[in-house]
Amino acid sequence: MRVLIDLDHFIFDSWDFLFPAEPENLFMALTEIDATVYFYTKFNDNVCARYFMYVLVPLLNKYKIHYVNLQQDQNIAYALHSFNDYDGDDHSKRLDTQLLNQLYGQHIDYIISESAEIKRKATRLNLNDYVYNADEFLEKLVAEKRLASADSDVTLQKQYIHEVNFKQSFFESFRNEYREFDDWIRKRTKAKEFAYVAQTAQKKVLAFLCLDIEAYEQRSRAIIPALRSQKRLRIVFMKVAYNGFKLAERMMRIIFEAAKTHQVDEIYIELFNQGKEKLRLIELLQKWGFSLHGHRQHSNNFLERVLVRPLYRGEIKRTSLLSHIYPSTLSCARGWFVPIREVDHDQLFSINATGYQGKLHRLEHSPQNNALTKLLITRIAPYELQSADILFFLCRTIEGVILSRIGVVVEINTQMQNEKQFIAYCRKYSPLSDEQLRSHWYASHLQPAAIRFLDLGSVPRVLHEKDIKKLGILPDVPRYMERLTARNLRILFKATQIKFPVLAEHCEPYAT
């Protein structure tokens, strides 16, 4: 495996310079899998140069990572011109094109970069399955079970505040930003409040999330412009140490589940935008529909950003991104029954189907099990299936068929021409190993289709086969995906007691 790292991700003008643990984690992982690793950087700043010289160079030498000489034999500029995509005199864009050229010319297998420009161009050239950021690449290695050193024993628990070890270095960033953090701990301990904590078997904290429900009359005057009088969920503290296990998405799932449970109108968070840790968090929140509302001014004149995510359907703006309206559904969406084997169900959702009958079994911890975006591989995908359609999963168990989960289609990919393209596309979303994906590709003469969908979780009221037949919407369990009529979809929503917000909007192709 040949990997090219765009080091500009790690050369960042902030206090993060003092903590080179993140690049070292990536370098260590690449060394463990015996990859051939190259790096490139286009920094032109004195501060960045000092960081590169005194922090990164020793790491690069330690892990035998070499500077890459950019090859020019395959000039992708001509390919990009066909899309009217020109770099012009922009030096940074031209260098991004040259980096992507190494992938286009097959001099390397993967690029690790945070550059939005590289990702945009890679998508146009159908190379986006080979471009990762550092977190995604770690997730890829963990999913492939190639890292023996990975924290595979991570557990996520709801703990009382007094049970959390706040002396760990993980919480130092909170103390640096909030002088009252220790006072906050004492108050929350006294009130016997709780938080969500992900930690290893050695009790090393990897993620921390604290939520608070605010009543209608609770509004902070320090937030400008003021928030309206609504019932809302506040994300008090949220931090994730990226380790390749999609813990950030797992935290987002907890946030949305809490919002649904308490039937709030909106979710909001206040945070500083200092350092790439916070910028990463802001990027994650924006991916799931949070937008900048205003600022909160502190007594020391420091400003915190206030990001808000509306949940009330009248407040959700028209968008082409399904992740921005999650967990809502569209009134014009069509419904489909999706029959699925128990073993595939367990692998996809990480909960054994018998859990719906009172015996809950958490399965193997993996990045894709934590993810909100999942992948279904099928031999026969109906040509009418489109983004925003609703999937009702019918799991075949020993006791019979159970309607267990619900999802919303994001994308249907039937254009994969060979095994390499199939594995590269599925790798980012599937919990299956490369060998298992390969067996899917060769299992039949029919080319597999990959359906990417957002997991909306378990249905509030689980239906068994006899319940579904009693409703008169399914005489026999289908062998393949089967479309529901609009009338039967309404009956199913009522029978399963699904109360997700339904947006009455015109349907058009949606994406994440």
Report the distance separating Cα 441 and Cα 186, nearest Å. 56
| Torsion angle defined by CA atoms of residues 236, 242, 247 and 248, in that order, rounded to the nearest 10 degrees | 50
Q: Tell me how far apart the alpha carbons of residues 232 and 36 are, in angstroms, rounded to a whole number.
A: 49
CA dihedral 328, 333, 339, 340 (to 10 degrees): -40
- Cβ distance 135 to 242 under 8 Å? yes
Query: How much is the pLDDT for 493?
Result: 86
Give residues with Cβ within 8 angstroms of 1, minimum separation 6: 33, 35, 36, 109, 110
SS3 per-residue string spanning 171-228? HHHHHHHCCCHHHHHHHHHHCCCEEEEEECCCCCEEEEEEEEEECCCCCCCCEECCCC
pTM of the predicted structure, to 2 decimals? 0.79
Which residue positions in the chain have pLDDT lower than 50?
Answer: 13-21, 47, 356-365, 504, 506-512
Bridge partners (DSSP) of residue 309 are 267
CA distance to 289, 449, 480, per residue, from 456 (Å)? 16, 21, 21
Q: Tens of pLDDT along 79-92?
A: 666 555 666 667 67
* ∠ Cα 299 304 205 (to 5°): 110
Domains (range + CATH), the chain:
2-132 (3.40.50), 155-312 (3.40.630.30), 329-503 (2.30.130.30)
Q: Give residue 472's identity as a one-letter amino acid code.
A: G
Structure tokens given for 260: 């649904």
Residues whose CB falls within 8 Å of the CB of residue 349, separated by 6 or more in sequence, listed in order? 369, 374, 404, 405, 455
| pLDDT tens figures, 437-482 | 888 898 888 888 899 999 988 888 888 888 888 888 877 778 888 8
Which residues pair with residue 132 across a beta bridge?
Answer: 112
Q: Would you state the pLDDT for residue 400?
A: 82
Rounded Cα–Cα distance for residues 432 and 434 (Å): 7
Could you give the CA distance from residue 340 to residue 402 in angstroms, rounded to a whole number? 10
Which DSSP string do the residues of 108-152 spell out, in sequence order?
-SEEE---HHHHHHHHHTT-GGGEE-HHHHHHHHHHTT--TTS-T
Nearest by Cα to 6 from 147, 72, 146, 100: 100
Question: What are the residues facing 310 on neighbouring strands?
Answer: 266
Alpha-carbon span 254 to 443, nearest angstrom:
37
Q: What is the pLDDT of residue 255?
A: 93
* H helix intervals, 191-341: 247-262, 275-287
Q: What is the pLDDT of residue 337?
A: 92
For residue 157, the model assigns a pLDDT of 86
316: DSSP letter: P
- CA-CA distances (angstroms) from residue 365 to 143, 158, 219, 370? 10, 17, 39, 8
What kind and span of H or E run contains 59?
A: helix 57-62
- Gap between the Cα atoms of 155 and 170, Å rounded: 16
Bridge partners (DSSP) listed for residue 395? 340, 402
Cα–Cα dist 113/5, whole Å:
6
Sheet holding 110-112, edge to edge: 66-67, 36-40, 2-6, 110-112, 131-132
